[in-house]
């Protein structure tokens, strides 16, 4: 079903006897020439656009490089600087808050709505479209522009608050204590795509399980916790992994809402925004590469933790 | 299904309503109707809340800027197109230029993704060659690779080739199947095409290229449609890459143009900004409207964003 379950199943099917392996090896060479010809564009891309640059950026992370002069070896200087860079620490804090508040809330909402949209209920496809639409548009600059207005001093939110008698004059996006919150709300607003994945997962749960449970007298909660949740857990896991990976990299919304600065007072200084500023605004490509590798390590670590923890709560049917 | 469970007890009776089912429905009747009405009300409330900002932006784009800040409602007095005409010409080039730029990039990206990803997908799904499992695993891992790890050296490469401020850095990678999502999506789809068809074509004298172009490609139109739609939406909205590579205003794609609009007016001309935002969202909305079936299918089979 998903890229992640595909990876785990690749790992599982590896165990085989020696004879089988040899047989498979012989078979595997059948279309060598055609295989690599078909794969050629992808392989070139992998080397030139992905793996080559990855190695280059690892090298650059140990150098001082401003695009104009050749890179100067700097050893661990970039990483040492990161230890003392308070803006970097702020950007980590902002990003972690965003990931650990935004992702769970978004997924929870996606799950609740997906559960509410029962199979065969009236208007299912209508609701699904409405809920899905924001996630199609949410990453765009236009929506970030809209958000800046909605949460501005005289924005839609404050107008609505004034209508109900609260005289609100907080500029939500210009107040350091709320600015990040508005971007988290924007993230939650785009719950439609995990919701659609949940809906697809729910549809795959065989109805007979519920019927059997009903015969046994299981109540709504029991059916949910004993059937729905275990069978849906691989999908929850999948969504969680992907959303965390994605959330660590969010950029556009913070960039537009804060006007590219990460302000006010660095309260929306996302990690990638800071990386962009160091690399492409200040032309400190070495430092930006070092930051990129730290990001990769962080994302890798969280994905690994997720996979490790999944043994304890994700239920695989097969 | 309930009826099949009840069948053994009701075999002797003539066809008719099953007493068990009637009983259960009646017992649940009132409660479940009330619950269903409440649920629909809540869902409609949520839906409204979700799309209210969008509707409001649409309506506000037809209002004079000075009233946008006073009107949280959706009622439209004296609609005006002034925002659109003003916004269209507010930047150095007319806004149409940015739409055309975006269009060129999107078209290139679509062609690239469809061509390169389908080739790679056919190899992964149908051909047996050495190292296939390893390459496949690498392909899956590359889906999750953050772009930031490669963006600096990529920029250096394109800069040395003098391709910065052209559309090449935005399009060329797509011809090299760097959007591995779509490779995976197509692999999934090709696996579902019966292998007998390949065999039949082989017996008729087709090589791999023949099987690919005459059998697999025509059958994987739904997967291609999904790829086209997602590529459209993502490339149309792509901000980060365009921001890095496109430096002169006449080359801007729509998102970068919108951003520079926000900067140049220091965020005060909301009417024109909303109008151009609506213009920039319109193509995505249309694609969403007509391609929803493929979007939903694509997202549920591969779980892409």
Domain boundaries, chain B: 2-60, 85-302
Minimum distance, in Å, between the CA of residue A60 and any CA atom of chain B: 8
Q: B31-86 pLDDT, tens per residue?
A: 778 888 888 899 999 999 999 999 999 999 998 888 877 778 888 878 888 889 98
Q: Is A122's CB within 8 Å of B119's CB?
A: no
Strand-pair partners of A73? A63
**Beta partners for residue B289, in sequence order:** none
User: Does A145 score more than 70 pLDDT?
Assistant: yes
> What CATH number should be reported for the domain whose range is B85-302?
1.10.3720.10
Residue A122 has a pLDDT of 82
pLDDT score for A28? 65
Q: Give the pLDDT mean for A262-271.
A: 90
Interatomic CA distance for residues A2 and A111, integer angstroms = 18
CB-CB under 8 Å, A3 with B151 = no
Confidence (pLDDT) at B10: 35
Partner-chain contact A131 B152, CB within 8 Å: no
Enter the tokens of residue A85. 């860079």
Rounded to two decimals, the pTM is 0.87
**Cβ(B50)–Cβ(B245) under 8 Å?**
no
Q: Report d(CA B48, CA B39) in Å as an integer.
A: 14
Predicted confidence band of residue A164 (pLDDT cuts 50, 70, 90): confident
Report residue A35 as tokens.
């295989």
User: The tokens of A313 are what?
Assistant: 């709560």
Which residue of chain A comes nearest to B265, CA vs CA?
Answer: A259
Task: Over range A271-275, report the average pLDDT.
Answer: 95
Looking at residue A11, its pLDDT comes to 61
ipTM value: 0.86
Least confident of A21-30, A207-216, B208-217: A21-30
* Burial letters A245-257, b for 16+ CB under 10 A, else e: bbbbbbbbbbbbb
pLDDT recorded at residue A179: 92
Q: Average pLDDT, stretch A142-152?
A: 90
Quote the pLDDT of residue A101: 97
**Confidence (pLDDT) at B12:** 39
Choose among A288, A297, A213: nearest CA to A248. A297
Give the contacts of A289 (CB within 8 A, at least 6 positions apart). A57, A58, A60, A61, A65, A78, A279, B152, B153
Output the CA–CA distances (angstroms, integers) from residue A61 to A95, A300, B131, in the order listed: 21, 18, 31
Q: What is the pLDDT of residue A201?
A: 87
Q: Is the N-terminal amide bond of A264 cis, ω within 30° of 0?
A: yes
Q: Name the pLDDT band for B28 (thresholds 50, 70, 90).
A: low
- Average pLDDT over every residue of A167-179: 85
Question: In the predicted model, is pLDDT for residue B100 greater than 90?
Answer: yes
pLDDT value for B57? 92
Kindly state the tokens that stand for B226: 């999904």
Fold of A3-7+85-313: MetI-like fold (1.10.3720)
Verify whether the Cβ–Cβ distance B296 to A132 is below 8 Å.
yes
Per-residue pLDDT averaged across B236-244, rounded?
A: 93
The closest alpha carbon to B256, from B247, B267, B269, B268, belongs to B247
DSSP A63: E
Biggest alpha carbon distance in chain B?
Answer: 85
**Please, what is the angle between helix B270-302 and helix A141-150, to 10°?**
120
Identify the CA nearest to A294 among candidates A88, A100, A90, A103: A88
Residue pLDDT, tens place only, B245-290: 999 999 999 999 999 888 876 667 888 899 999 999 999 999 998 8
Whether the predicted pLDDT of B22 surpasses 50: no
Cβ <8 Å between A279 and B233: no
Residue B128 has pLDDT above 50, yes or no: yes
Average pLDDT (B130-159) is 91
Tell me the pLDDT of chain B averaged across its residues: 85
Beta bridge partners of A63: A73
Residue of B nearest to A122 (CA): B40
| Residues listed for chain A | 318
Task: Check residue B15 and give its pLDDT.
Answer: 42
Domains of chain A, residue spans: 3-7+85-313
In terms of C-beta density within 10 A (0-12 exposed, 13-18 middle, 19 or more buried), how is residue A57 classed? buried
Query: What would the two tokens of residue A36 be?
Result: 């690599």
First-last CA distance in chain A? 13
Q: Does B273 sit within 8 Å of A145, measured CB to CB?
A: yes
**Distance from C-alpha of A20 to C-alpha of A26, rounded to nearest angstrom:** 10
Least confident among A188-192, B75-79, B157-161, B203-207: B75-79
Helix (H) or strand (E) holding B211: none
Cα(A10)–Cα(A235) distance, rounded to whole angstroms?
18
Nearest to B239 among A132, A249, A252 (CB): A252
| Segment A8-57, tens digit of pLDDT | 676 656 556 677 777 766 666 678 888 999 999 999 999 999 999 999 99
Per this entry, what is the length of chain B? Answer: 305
User: What is each CA distance from A266 to A174, A215, A228, in whole angstroms?
Assistant: 11, 58, 42
Chain B residues with CB under 8 Å of A138 CB are: none
Question: Six-digit token pair at A289?
Answer: 């590469």
Chain A environment of B212 (Cβ under 8 Å): 38
The DSSP H or E segment spanning A317 is none
Burial of B97 (0-12, 13-18, 19+ CB in 10 A): middle
Whether B54 contacts A133, CB under 8 Å: yes
A-B CB pairs within 8 A amount to 295
For residue A255, give Cα distances in angstroms to A213, B26, B186.
50, 57, 33
What value does the CA radius of gyration of chain A take, rounded to a whole number of Å? 24
Q: In chain A, whose CA is at the least distance from the CA of B116?
A: A41
- Cα distance between residue A73 and residue A77, in whole Å: 9
Concatenated DSSP letters of B15-61: SS--HHHHHHHHHHHHHHHHHHHHHHHHHHHHHHHHHHHHHHHHHHT
Compute φ and ψ for A72, nearest 5 degrees: -110, 125
- CA B209, CA B10: separation in Å to the nearest integer? 59
Q: Which residues of A touch B145 (CB under 8 A)?
A: 50, 54, 296
Work out the pLDDT band at B126, boundaries 50, 70, 90.
Answer: very high
Vertex A120: Cα angle to A111 and A236 (nearest 5): 20
For the cut 90, the answer to whether the pLDDT of residue A315 exceeds it is no
Q: What is the pLDDT of residue A65?
A: 92
Q: Which residue has the tokens 């020439």?
A: A33
d(CA A251, CA A279): 14
CB B271 within 8 A of CB B278: no
B12: distance to nearest CA of chain A, Å?
22
A264 against B268, higher pLDDT? A264
DSSP, residue by residue, A155-214:
SHHHHHHHHTT------GGGSTTTHHHHHHHHHHHTTHHHHHHHHHHHHTS-HHHHHHHH
Q: Is the pLDDT of residue B175 over 60?
A: yes
List A72's β-bridge partners, or say none: A64
Whole-number Å distance between alpha carbons of B240 and A206? 42
What pLDDT score was predicted for residue B24? 45
């Amino acid at each position: 079903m998903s890229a992640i379950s595909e990876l785990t199943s690749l790992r599982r099917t590896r165990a085989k006897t020696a004879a089988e392996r040899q047989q498979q090896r012989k078979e595997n060479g059948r279309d060598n020439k055609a295989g690599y010809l078909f794969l050629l564009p992808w392989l070139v891309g992998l080397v030139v656009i992905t793996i080559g640059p990855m190695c280059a950026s690892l090298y650059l992370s140990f150098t001082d490089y401003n695009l104009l002069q050749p890179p100067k070896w700097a050893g661990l200087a970039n990483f040492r600087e990161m230890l003392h860079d308070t803006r970097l620490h702020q950007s980590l804090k902002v990003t972690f808050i965003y990931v650990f508040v935004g992702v769970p809330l978004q997924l929870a909402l996606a799950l609740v709505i997906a559960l509410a949209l029962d199979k065969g209920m009236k208007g299912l496809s209508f609701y699904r479209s409405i809920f899905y639409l924001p996630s199609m548009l949410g990453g765009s600059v236009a929506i970030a522009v809209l958000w800046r207005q909605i949460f501005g001093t005289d924005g839609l939110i404050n107008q609505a608050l004034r209508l109900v008698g609260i005289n609100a004059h907080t500029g939500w996006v210009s107040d350091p204590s709320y600015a990040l919150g508005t971007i988290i709300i924007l993230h939650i607003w785009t719950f439609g795509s995990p919701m659609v994945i949940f809906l697809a997962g729910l549809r795959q749960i065989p109805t007979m399980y519920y019927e059997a449970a009903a015969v046994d007298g299981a109540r709504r909660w029991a059916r949910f916790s004993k059937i729905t949740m275990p069978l849906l857990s691989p999908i929850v896991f999948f969504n969680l992994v992907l959303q965390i990976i994605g959330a660590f990299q969010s950029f556009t919304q913070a960039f537009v809402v804060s006007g590219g600065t990460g302000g006010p007072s660095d309260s929306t200084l996302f990690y990638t925004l800071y990386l962009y500023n160091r690399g492409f605004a200040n032309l400190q490509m070495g430092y930006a590469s070092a930051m990129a590798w730290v990001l990769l390590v962080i994302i890798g670590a969280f994905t690994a933790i997720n996979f490790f923890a999944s043994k304890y709560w994700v239920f695989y049917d097969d | 299904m309930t009826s099949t469970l009840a069948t053994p007890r009701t075999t002797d009776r003539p066809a008719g309503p099953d007493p068990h089912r009637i009983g259960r429905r009646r017992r649940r009747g009132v409660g479940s109707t009330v619950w269903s009405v409440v649920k629909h009300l809540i869902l409609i409330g949520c839906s409204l809340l979700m799309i209210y900002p969008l509707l409001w932006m649409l309506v506000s784009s037809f209002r004079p800027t000075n009233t946008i800040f006073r009107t949280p409602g959706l009622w439209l007095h004296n609609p005006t197109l002034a925002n659109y005409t003003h916004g269209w010409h507010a930047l150095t080039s007319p806004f149409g230029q940015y739409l055309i730029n975006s269009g060129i990039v999107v078209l290139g990206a679509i062609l690239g993704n469809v061509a390169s990803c389908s080739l790679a997908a056919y190899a992964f799904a149908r051909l047996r060659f050495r190292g296939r499992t390893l390459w496949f695993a690498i392909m899956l891992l590359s889906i999750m690779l953050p772009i930031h790890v490669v963006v600096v050296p990529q920029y250096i490469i394109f800069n040395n080739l003098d391709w910065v401020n052209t559309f090449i850095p935005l399009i060329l990678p797509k011809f090299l199947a760097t959007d591995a999502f779509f490779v995976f999506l197509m692999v999934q789809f090709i696996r579902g095409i019966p292998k007998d068809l390949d065999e039949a074509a082989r017996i008729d004298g087709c090589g791999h290229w023949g099987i690919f172009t005459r059998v697999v490609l025509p059958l994987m139109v739904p997967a291609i449609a999904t790829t086209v739609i997602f590529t459209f939406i993502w490339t149309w909205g792509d901000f980060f890459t365009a921001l890095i590579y496109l430096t002169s205003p006449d080359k801007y794609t729509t998102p970068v143009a919108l951003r520079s609009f926000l900067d140049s007016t220091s965020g005060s001309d909301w009417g024109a900004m909303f109008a151009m935002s609506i213009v920039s969202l319109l193509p995505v909305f249309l694609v969403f409207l007509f391609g929803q079936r493929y979007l939903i299918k694509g997202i549920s089979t591969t779980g892409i964003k």
